[in-house]
Structure 1
Amino acid sequence: MNPVLVRRQGALGRLTLNRPEALNALNLPMIRILAAALDAWEHDDAVSAVLLDGAGERGLCAGGDVRFLADDAAAGGDQAAVLLSQEYRLDARIARYPKPYVALMDGVVMGGGVGVSAHGSLRVVTPRTVLAMPEVSIGYVPDVGGSWLLGHAPGELGLHLALSATRLGAADAIGCGLADVAVASERLGELVAALVDGAEPAAAVAGLAVDPGVASLAAHREWIDRCYTAPGLPGILDALRDAGEPDAAQAAEAIGRAAPLAATMALRALRAARELPSLERALEAEYGLTRCCVRWPDFAEGVRALLVERDGSPRWDPPCPEDVTDEVVARFLRGVRPTDPPLGLLPG
């Protein structure tokens, strides 16, 4: 079975992620197929727009193939770095694509699924959308440009999403800047048909737009913006626990279950991304961090505990945020190898 369905329908170049049994999780062949299709269609005058969707009933994409990354790292391989480098180049390509790139973010959209959708020029969510960047839960950090996207969310919402792995519906996805417009799931077929007929994408989407509902996070901005300005992860946890808000206490519990080292590095990455000049700079920084993540024991442990054996009891190293010392961070950052392929998004 072809893992990505690539076809031209009228004026539309269609890309359908086609691994529904794995909730369309991205692997290296899929990334290469997507990149090749975008290359071919960029200069094809018969293609006026590109549309991405996912096969199956569950969602667009649950993320990247983290089991592959964990297994490769455990074996001492270098294919994890190859996959990450090509995936990040694809994300940057989508963000700069010269033709309209329409992403149908219906159902589950997580991790790598955010990378191939939220960088598009027109991002469509539905009442079924469940969007999240839950990487710290498995000893990893938000990547695929997630540090850039979340770092530029209003106030401290991005930090809240990254550290607590909060799941967003349509209204909050739009409110956080990760999507543009909501369309009813049952009307997505009409949207596709209009694009096949050559309709201008923004106009076609606007004609089918619905009210996404109330963005629930907006009501919590006061304690979110206050608590997440603490200087470090221990301070954020203390602020959340002392906030006197049930939702803040739940956020503290969620962060407490995450890998302390990954959460610390995610916090640093998002704050640094706010000061970077471009998505490409953020992706270069993420590339360094994620190569270190896959080679640190927490990642394999997180994949084991949450995705393979599913016992829900990962044993993190170090076990507490207070134990993430400068020496631990220095050892973590030695995970970058000179033999890893360069990302090549920046001059020189």
Structure 2
Amino acid sequence: MTADDSVLRHTEGHAGYLTLNRPRALNALTHRMVRHLDEALTAWEQDREVATVVIGGSGERGLCAGGDIRAIHDDAREGDGTASLAFWRDEYRLNARIARYPKPYVALMDGIVMGGGVGVSAHGSVRIVTERSRIAMPETAIGFVPDVGGLHLLAGAPGELGTHLALTGASMTAGDALLCGFADHLVPAARLPECAADLAVMAVPDAVRRHAAAPPDAELAAHRGWIDSCYAADTVEEIVDRLEQSGEPAAKHAAQTLLERSPTALKVTLAAVRRARQLGSLERVLDQDYRVGSVALGSADLVEGIRARIVDKDRDPHWSPARLADVTDAEVDRHFRSLGEGELGLGAAEVTA
């Protein structure tokens, strides 16, 4: 157990258990929590008694709703961004570490799993969802771009499903998460505690097999036709036009959602998810996330988006610029420029390892 109890930590049998413990904030990640998680992984990597790591969330609502964006809002508005950049640097390094962890890392993705919650779960080696799971990368709603390596997963989703999810921030059901590569197994929520307990005394495949249920249908699968057609367009403007003209009610709803999002965030997100397909590794995508975040941190839209959604909750953001047509290619490209000595450097470390 950590000193501030924001991350609970204990071992039982041959498993180490991590519990995100800010239930009133839906277990939103703070910088301190990221450090606690990293410290636990360091200790257990060398501990021969710990064969498996299991992460879950306290409370009934979900694993984690994302990062502590109120803190980011305050830092962007009143500070110099240093605190947020330090948080992202450690968070993204943790995301990469989870993906390469030498022992099974089992994520219990029950309930809400969004943003930073995806980063500490969906890069794990064994990812378990339940019928209650709702998984999303909703960053465009706050004038930001999907990060924590989520675009690495979205870029690998079938067809243009990842583009749809990245731009709209729509939630995935358990079946959708299995289809899109964010999860591996379904365990009914009622059986999750017993499954977690069995991980202390059984091999991971045996424990999961004992409690797993048949995967549900993916709701997104039925929409592949219009999603693949509309989101294959070269620009956000053309995507919106295709969605509006498709004749599908769900597509028109998606178009309306996009028109409510930050135009800059949408254009940068489209470029980022397509670049992620070419980057290949999670580490290189995380490097890109850090570049994009460094620029977005100084934008008016991030502060305004968090204000409208989280602080004042009026859901009436005033984006700048307000129209897609006014976001230039130069502005989009600016988000992907090298930071020089300020680079995160995970991709370079991967090459030299």
Partner of 2:231: 228
* 1:32/1:341 CA distance change after superposition, 3 Å: farther
Q: Retained in 2: the 8 A contact 1:296–1:332?
A: no
Counterpart residue number, 1:346: 348
Distance of 2:159 and 2:219 partners within structure 1: 15
CA shift, 1:206, in A, is 1.6
Q: Secondary structure at the match of 2:279?
A: coil
- Separation (CA, whole Å) in 2 of partners of 1:86 and 1:341: 13
Amino acid across the alignment from 1:40: A
Q: Displacement of 1:77 after TM fit?
A: 3.6
Kindly provide the amino acid, as one letter, of the partner of residue 168 in structure 2.
S
In the TM superposition, residue 277 of structure 1 has moved relative to its aligned partner by: 2.8
Aligned to 1:262: 265
Q: Does 1:73 align with 2:76?
A: yes
Residue 100 (str. 1) matches residue 104 (str. 2) = yes
Match status 1:189 vs 2:193: yes
Mapped to 2, the partners of 1:20 and 1:337 lie a distance apart of 36
Residue segments in structure 2 that go unaligned for 5+ positions in a row: none
Name the CA shift for 1:261/1:210 in 2 (closer, same or farther; >3 Å).
same
- Counterpart AA for 2:95: D
Structure-2 change in CA distance of 1:243 and 1:152 (3 Å): same
- How far apart are 1:246 and its partner, in Å? 0.4
For 1:275 and 1:328, the matched residues in 2 are separated by: 21
Alignment match, 1:136? 140
Aligned partner of 1:173 in structure 2 is 177
Task: Compute the displacement of 1:305 (Å).
Answer: 0.3
Written as runs of structure 1 = structure 2, the 5 A alignment for 1:292-311 is: 292-311=295-314
Residue 164 of structure 1 is matched in structure 2 by: 168
User: Do the aligned partners of 2:119 and 2:150 also contact (CA within 8 Å) in 1?
Assistant: yes
Scaled by the length of structure 1, the TM-score of the pair is 0.96
Cα pair distance change 1:25/1:312, threshold 3 Å: same
Give the Cα–Cα distance (whole angstroms) in 1 for the partners of residues 9 and 253 of structure 2. 42
Q: Contact 2:151–2:273 at 8 Å: present in 1 too?
A: yes
Task: Indicate the RMSD between aligned Cα atoms, in angstroms.
Answer: 1.6
How many percent identity over aligned positions? Answer: 50
Q: Structure 1, residues 187-219: CA drift from partner, whole Å, max 9, x if none?
A: 11111121111x111221122111232211101
**5+ residue gaps, structure 1:** none
The AA in structure 2 aligned to 1:311 is D
Matches within 5 A, 1:1-348: 1-74=4-77, 75-197=79-201, 199-329=202-332, 340=342, 342-347=344-349
Deviation for aligned residue 1:304: 0.3
